[in-house]
Amino acid sequence: MKLAIAVAVFFFSRLALVHGATDTKHYIVFMGDHSYPNSESVKLANHEMLASVMGSIDGAQQAVVYHYTRSFRGFSAMLTPVHAQQLAERESVVSVFESKMNHAHTTHSWDFLGVNSIHQYNHLPLESKSDVIIGVIDSGVWPESMSFNDTGLGPIPKRFKGKCVIGEEFSLANCNRKLIGARFYYKGFEKDKGPLKTISSDFLKSARDTEGHGSHTASTVAGSAVANASYLGMAKGTARGGAPSARLAIYKALWSNRGSDADLFKAFDDAISDGVDIISISIGSSPQKNFLADSLSIGSLRAFMEGILVSASAGNAGKPYTASNVAPWILTVAASSVDREFNANVYLGNSKILKVTLQSLVKEGSPLALEMVVGIREDVNNFPTSTIHDSCGTHPMGYSLSPLKMKRSYGVINASAAAAPGVSSKAASFCQNSTLDPTLIKGKIVVCYNVDGSSESFFVKQAGAVGIIVVRPLAEGIDFNLQIPGTLIERKEAEELKAYLEKQRNPIAKISLTMTALNTKRAPRMATFSSMGPNIITPDIIKPDITAPGVNILAAWPPSTAVDTKEDFDYNIISGTSMACPHASGIAGIIKSYHPSWNPSIIKSAMMTTATVLDNTGGPILKDPNDSPATPFDYGSGHVNPSAALDPGLVYDFDSEDIIDYLCGTGATPKQLESFLGVAVTCKYPPTPAYNLNYPSIGVANLLRSVSVLRTVTYYGKGPTVYISNVEQPKGVKVVITPPKLKFGNYGEKMSFKVDIMPSKNHSGNIEFVFGALTWDNGIHRVRSPIMLNLI
């Protein structure tokens, strides 16, 4: 697709036509590499350049918001569209784009509680001498959290050039050998939204996190192991980050989950030049902006060129074509569940069990979990962390949806059959205040329809009921804060319940505690909210790249008070691709500590080619909520497999040169790329097709006729070996690998091969996506690349 770059170039002329000539907006002027000796000389040059369009140095100085001087040259300034356009026409300017707001990729759901959410990684050896530095661009950090305790860590790596910047409620003493850097950025946000303090008195001009998102992601990436971490005193377990021995450099650029491009760009400028190894960023714009109008895409390309892997969240839009952070130099992370479910079954008098699994019902923004957790404390105290058996099998005890355990069975009544005098049965079915007849529901479990449940549980309790079953055919946006034992069922269970109620004169039921079931089959499953491909900027690159745990993740939180119980907690459970990204970043950190010389594309390749597309039943990974099989548009190469990624066998490597060829192939001009990279660039003629970027997955958009895709693998094993190709054929095409076998002798040896893709003659002509895979197998390593083809 040629448009990515071209659109960026034409962005301004359109803007100039649309907006008045005198209104100023916040623009970022990006000029790529620079050879100025220091920041001061860059600032001087920026002022002069700006003065040449604005007319005065004074005006220029006042207009500037940021100078980008460390890792690349540029500035951001309040400009009229006309001035912005004049700057865009300058030879040395790569791009000019408006500073827009980006959003945190979290769901804000207060989610379910369980044991250490990343327990499956605990078997990995801890590289205690690791000096890997991970930069986290987010909402800051709560430095007192035990997750940032630096006990046992060696001195701060000498190559780190970052700073612990002091600010409101943040002193030098808040940095340590774990939190080695702390910076913050707010000028861009203020230009857009007004002074921080007028928006929220909670905003602190420092790296201190008052919101939670940043502490959560940072502790997931590289939090120290904390024994007995818990949320509201429950489900004690060891909380730890993916790379507990890595160091964290914090770049706070999110305010109320929003981050302006100008601030984020400054964070990249600093992080790259501070010397971080990996950048973790759970932020994005939706829809994804084209590369040259997007601070994340540009900043992460600069990072890539400096050998820094950028791991970013795909977003929580949950629909096709919504994945963001889709540049090939970014590791784009989707979200999936872990092997844990929440069951709140109903035991009927006829010994039937209505099995209710709540995990799939948790939706973005649902405050369900907090209330559920608050509701059950007493029961949890009865079963601290031990494993008990319930009637459904071995389930470590969790917590309940309801405040009290239902000790025996009670009568059940359909609310519509218990209408108060003068109330229609339809109106009664919603269980609103004073719509039910207390004499009919007293001492019973009431079945209510299509309600949130919390206020209704209050109303039915007032009227004397002992339990509530809420029927929600679509179960969206649940908001439970139940005053009495209760659960939520969907259509299928409601039918069973109805059949039972109709047959029995005195139907009875018992609502079980909500069980946290561990080691549940089938896991992982793709989260409904996880943003999907196809890639809207460069469709030849499959996005997202990978999936990682992002559902119900326990991690550090600023000390807060639970709304209902007034109880303090400093760990919290939330969901989102925001939570998946730091898992991937932490795993990248582990890989980097084992293989310090690996560049970003090698780390990426190792993670992608070893990912699994099977779940813990050995079947294909499914997708919530309907159990449809997931595709590469959901999870890219599959679910991350950290221990396999340490030893991938073969890798697909690509470097800045390859990215130049790729960008040329998508329509970028040599001139743009020259200032971008600071070196002379000639685009090859004919340009390299985007599908020939040596990416660890294979995609061809617009496959009209046969194409040959080229790839090169590098052998990262010892001694002679033979890899044999194995193709899962996509429907309607034939894929042939030449040569079908690759013989390697020595570590580092490279071999190229051809992937001939031949659509069958009778393709219908409808646009269709088909998937397959190529796996290189030497009997020990399986190096898998998904294949995505868009037949037209």
Contact residue for ligand NAG among 501, 683, 736, 751 (CB under 6 A)? 501
Would you say the C-alpha torsion 510, 511, 514, 518 has a positive or negative sign?
positive
User: Which of 374, 727, 737, 381 has the alpha carbon at shortest distance from 566?
Assistant: 374
Could you give the 3-state DSSP secondary structure of residue 37? coil
Q: Shortest approach of ligand NAG to residue 146 CB, angstroms?
A: 6
The DSSP string of 508-526 is EEEEPPPEEEESPSS--EE
Which residue, 235 or 574, is less far from ligand NAG as judged by CB?
235
Contact residue for ligand NAG among 161, 319, 389, 498 (CB under 6 A)? 498
Of the candidate spans 479-487, 490-498, 564-572, 625-633, the one that interacts with ligand NAG by CB under 6 A turns out to be 490-498
Contact residue for ligand NAG among 41, 198, 434, 439 (CB under 6 A)? 434
Calpha distance 446→453 (Å, rounded): 11
Contact residue for ligand NAG among 497, 532, 645, 773 (CB under 6 A)? 497
Which residue, 76 or 416, is less far from ligand NAG as judged by CB?
416
Q: Counting contacts by CB under 6 A, is residue 704 touching ligand NAG?
A: no
Query: Order of strands, edge to edge, in the sheet holding 698-703?
Result: 698-703, 782-791, 768-777, 721-728, 741-744
Interface pattern 715-754 for ligand NAG (x via CB under 6 A): -----------------x----------------------
Residue spans of beta strands (DSSP E) within 109-263? 133-138, 179-184, 226-231, 234-239, 247-252, 258-260
- What tokens appear for 638 in the block? 């599959």
Calpha distance 625→155 (Å, rounded): 47
Which residue, 51 or 501, is less far from ligand NAG as judged by CB?
501
Subset of 762-781 contacting ligand NAG (CB under 6 A) = 762-764
Of the candidate spans 70-78, 130-138, 360-368, 759-767, the one that interacts with ligand NAG by CB under 6 A turns out to be 759-767
Of the candidate spans 80-88, 315-323, 497-505, 509-517, the one that interacts with ligand NAG by CB under 6 A turns out to be 497-505
Q: Shortest approach of ligand NAG to residue 149 CB, angstroms?
A: 4
Of the candidate spans 118-126, 541-549, 678-686, 757-765, the one that interacts with ligand NAG by CB under 6 A turns out to be 757-765
User: Which of 401, 313, 315 has the alpha carbon at shortest distance from 112?
Assistant: 401
Interface pattern 445-464 for ligand NAG (x via CB under 6 A): --x-----------------
Which residue, 684 or 734, is less far from ligand NAG as judged by CB?
734
Helix axes 295-305, 600-609, angle to 10 degrees: 100
Contact residue for ligand NAG among 149, 286, 560, 708 (CB under 6 A)? 149
Q: Shortest approach of ligand NAG to residue 792 CB, angstroms?
A: 13
User: Identity (one letter) of the amino acid at 592?
Assistant: K
Interface pattern 197-236 for ligand NAG (x via CB under 6 A): ------------------------------xx-------x
Q: Which residues fall within 8 angstroms of residue 53, CB to CB, at 6 or more apart? A: 83, 86, 87
Helix, strand, coil distribution of the chain in percent, nearest 5: 25, 30, 45
Helix axes 577-594, 600-609, angle to 10 degrees: 110
Q: Shortest approach of ligand NAG to residue 236 CB, angstroms?
A: 6
Q: Shortest approach of ligand NAG to residue 500 CB, angstroms?
A: 8
Q: Shortest approach of ligand NAG to residue 502 CB, angstroms?
A: 7
* Total residues interacting with ligand NAG, rule: CB under 6 A: 20
The strand pair at 247-252 and 133-138 is best described as parallel
Subset of 368-427 contacting ligand NAG (CB under 6 A) = 414, 416, 425
Q: Shortest approach of ligand NAG to residue 561 CB, angstroms?
A: 21
Of the candidate spans 242-250, 541-549, 626-634, 758-766, the one that interacts with ligand NAG by CB under 6 A turns out to be 758-766
User: Which of 118, 426, 100, 429 has the alpha carbon at shortest distance from 265?
Assistant: 100
Q: Among the residues of 223-281, which ranges form H helices?
A: 261-274
Q: Are 546 and 557 spatial neighbours (Cβ–Cβ below 8 Å)?
A: no
Active site residues: 138, 213, 578
- Indicate the helix (H) or strand (E) that contains 87: helix 81-88
Residues forming contacts to ligand NAG in the complex (CB under 6 A) are 149, 151, 227-228, 236, 414, 416, 425, 433-434, 447, 494, 497-498, 501, 732, 760, 762-764
